[in-house]
Amino acid sequence: MTEPLPAIVLIGHGMVGQRYLEALAERGATRTHRITVLCEEPRPAYDRVHLTSYFSGSTTEDLSMTPPGFMAEHGIALHLDDPAEHIDRTARTVTSRTGQVFPYDVLVLATGSFPFVPPVPGKDAPGCFVYRTIEDLLAIEEYAKGRTSGAVVGGGLLGLEAAGALQGLGLATRVVEFAPRLMPVQVDEGGGAALLRTIESMGLTVHTGVGTQEVLTGEDGHVSGMLLSDGSAVDTDLVVFSAGVRPRDQLARASGLDVGERGGIAVDSRCRTSDPRVYAIGECALACDGRVYGLVAPGYEMAETAAEDLLGREKEFTGADLSTKLKLLGVDVASFGDAHGTAPGSLDVVWSDSRSGVYKKLVVSPDGVLLGGVLVGDADAYGLLRPLTGSVPPVAPEQLVLPAGLGAPVALGPSSLPDHAVICSCHNVTKKAIAACATLSEVKKCTKAGTGCGSCVKVIGQLLPAAADKGLCGCFPFTRAELYEIVRTRRLASYQELLDGHGRPEARGGDGCEVCKPTVGSIIASLAPAVGASGYVLEGEQAALQDTNDHFLANMQRNGSYSVVPRIPGGEITPDKLIVIGEVARDFGLYTKITGGQRIDLFGASVDQLPRIWARLVDAGFESGHAYGKALRTVKSCVGQTWCRYGVQDSVRMAIDLELRYRGLRAPHKLKSAVSGCARECAEAQSKDFGVIATASGWNLYVGGNGGATPRHADLLAQDLSDAELVRLIDRFLMFYIRTADRLERTSTWLERLEGGLSHLRDVVVHDSLGLCAELESLMADHVAHYRDEWAETLEDPERLRRFVSFVNAPGAPDPTVKFVPERDQVKPDLAVLTIGGAVR
């Protein structure tokens, strides 16, 4: 008679539990053991790290971490919605909620943690929730229908995730954090300040340094508000508690296993409990270093350790890297190593730019060893800095935090890392192991790197052969031109729909990145009427895709103030409008300058002043000049035949017509144009993206010109054109450029890169060699027909105006970091506040 296989019972099927099963399968243990899994939830393991992506379109299937057929392939019995309720260590059995009894030879506890809810009055009232499972999210989503406000108790990782989810549900959201700063465990005071500023600019209200005294309820017993420890009361329809977690060790306590004084199932370096037949892994375990680890990577390492020990192999878990990189509410936040500088004698190297919400701090030893750091707002260097921790970097520390052009001449890349550097901390994968693979898919399959939190994917891509991937970014395997075609042909009006349907598998359900979000936002805006999207860039999801300038419909300047540029088509302006601009500049104390594109630029406006400035300008007949957008800026002109004795055509009229036709047209890069009334070329049309020069017989059209650092003379596309022919060719040229150019590619670079160059462009837009011209003209006609001034639309909607405040908690308060000093009867930024020292701004 065949001996029965040894039985393993796994209690809990979260991310760490599933990793343990995979570790067993990889080592062949699923063939030598009978495995039973008792799962409390009604679904198999899913990705809790990206839980919030459910609210941005990810399905429960997208979040699943259990490969289809995995359980059946390895003979694993999974019991969903049937948690363990009793452990008998003498009989070596586990009894589940349904009364089933499961014998074991080895028991593994992966019970995770539970949300901590402060013991405040009203915490159990209808409208109070925790934020831990998909069921929690479903309940929050249902309750939020028809309600207008929500509050999150806790400003840590999950708290900010929850706040983002509530805001995504359309609720006016506030965060209450007892500590003096957000994310107190991960970031220091400077990083917390940068994070706070950025989050408040997104419309969230944040209370730090206060606790929740009571949840208030209305006559129906449902949540109606909160009483805070400073005595203030706030209104809210919904409360989410996210004030930390506690190890789920109740089963272990009841069965007599050793637990820590403050919770957690005590384990040794091999993840064995006080009973050698019982293991504990993940958030429920108190490691031998006295710490409960609440991150995915340490949990995975515990799972690997327990699997190895089961098979009698040498592996120990004595502690773990607590480094983490996340994107919270669209803000990159990362910390690594000794982020708070607790080592004796440690020194800080800091770069802080409060105007853009960027904060970077490196902690170094007196002899130059990188000990740790904090990154907020810009965490691109995380993948390089974390592996360098514990070594002396090959360049000075300040070169690792300063932006390009401010003392950072040496660009370090992943290739400079040693082979033993750990690139993926979730699965402990080194640079050498990654470099042995050819593609990202191969890396994931062979090493599992990039399948955990995902923070290492960008660095992995930089270590692989450059020719392997021509995609726009780590989120999409397609070029910008290919994404344009997908959006156009599939009529996609949603970035999230594009990402989930056409993004890389590992990016689907995520939040995207700083490369693809504004790029796709621009594509959708340029195709807005054709795909059924709103042309207003701050409408719904589109608002989250915009960069700082588009987010406030103004250009941010070096001291954190903004400039205002009203459109002045063709440079033509009436005395009355000039007076209005002068009065606005005088009344708001703005620096005034005439630009090279025949417009007037007003500098020094604060965020809260922008709506008041634009209200006066719009009333006077002005509209947005789109100086902040990747769009048409100006169509410059000379005075033409109306006034000039050399002019042969009315260049002012043509410049005005063209500027009004193409205003607001979103493109891969900014667009500039000019119209000259004769061959003397006073408007400098041949240095523009498209330029027009008058002839005695009509107009000559030049394209692909560029001024600036890399000037290029424009090429003659067609000559002696009538007004109608000129407009038709420009329509085709611009829409073909928007359709086929790369991200942030000027027309000059695009034309030089275009296969066949000017000859091919002429074939396409003049001779219609590809049969596209009717479609290109139709797309431009849609744009012209649906154009509306962005600032006029903004002023009409009180909800849209809510974003224009310096501080959400104090809407009328000025920004103390924005200062000016007098110069030549005007003002200029106070450069004294932009210093490099202990804190660099």
CATH architecture designation of domain 630-788: 2-Layer Sandwich (3.30)
- pLDDT, position 561: 84
pLDDT band at 403 (very low <50, low <70, confident <90, very high): low
Q: Which H or E run includes 332?
A: strand 331-337
The verdict on whether residue 456 carries a ligand-binding annotation is no
Interatomic CA distance for residues 594 and 102, integer angstroms: 81
The verdict on whether residue 426 carries a ligand-binding annotation is no
- pLDDT, position 838: 34
Per-residue pLDDT for 662 more than 70? Answer: yes
- pLDDT, position 435: 80
pLDDT (average), residues 158-165 = 86
pLDDT (average), residues 562-575 = 92
For 489-524, write each residue's pLDDT tens digit: 888 989 999 998 999 888 888 778 878 888 998 999
Q: Which residue has the higher pLDDT, 244 or 548?
A: 244
According to DSSP, the β-strands at 715-721 and 698-703 are antiparallel
Interatomic CA distance for residues 780 and 195, integer angstroms: 41
Q: Which fold has domain 547-624+789-841?
A: Sulfite Reductase Hemoprotein; domain 2 (3.90.480)
Question: CATH topology of 7-114+247-310 equal to that of 117-243?
Answer: yes
Count CB neighbours of 582 within 10 A: 13
CATH of domain 117-243: 3.50.50.60
- pLDDT, position 833: 47
pLDDT band at 817 (very low <50, low <70, confident <90, very high): low
Percentage of the chain modeled with pLDDT above 70: 93
- CA 741, 744, 747, 753: dihedral to nearest 10 degrees? -60
The amino acid occupying position 592 is T
HSE-CB for 97 with a 13 A CA cutoff: 10
- pLDDT, position 295: 82
Interatomic CA distance for residues 157 and 331, integer angstroms: 12
Structure tokens at 529: 């009427």
Out of 264-268, 314-318, 355-359, 724-728, pick the least confident: 355-359
Interatomic CA distance for residues 222 and 227, integer angstroms: 15
According to DSSP, the β-strands at 223-228 and 212-217 are antiparallel
Per-residue pLDDT for 816 more than 70? Answer: no
Contact in structure between 175 and 151 (CB atoms under 8 Å):
yes
For 303-336, write each residue's pLDDT tens digit: 999 999 999 888 898 887 777 777 666 678 888 8
Domain boundaries, the chain: 7-114+247-310, 117-243, 480-546, 547-624+789-841, 630-788
The verdict on whether residue 682 carries a ligand-binding annotation is yes
Per-residue pLDDT for 628 more than 90? Answer: no
Which of 400, 403, 421 is CA-nearest to residue 412? Answer: 400
The verdict on whether residue 473 carries a ligand-binding annotation is no
The answer, as to whether pTM is greater than 0.95, is no
> 């995504």: which residue's tokens?
168
For 45-97, write each residue's pLDDT tens digit: 998 877 777 776 677 777 888 888 899 999 999 999 999 999 999 999 999 99
Instruction: State in words which class domain 7-114+247-310 has.
Output: alpha beta
- pLDDT, position 229: 93
For 364-401, write each residue's pLDDT tens digit: 999 889 999 988 888 778 877 888 888 888 777 777 77
DSSP, residue by residue, 334-399 = EEEESTT--STT-EEEEEEETTTTEEEEEEE-TT--EEEEEEES--TTHHHHHHHTTS--SS-GGG
According to DSSP, the β-strands at 632-637 and 671-676 are parallel
Residues 6+ apart with CB under 8 A from 530: 488, 491, 779, 782
pLDDT (average), residues 441-447 = 79
Structure tokens at 788: 């509306």
In three-state secondary structure terms, 96 is: strand
Which of 558, 700, 56 is CA-nearest to residue 327? Answer: 56
Q: Which residue has the higher pLDDT, 570 or 560?
A: 570
Please state whether 612 falls in left (phi above 0), alpha (psi between -120 and 50) or beta. alpha
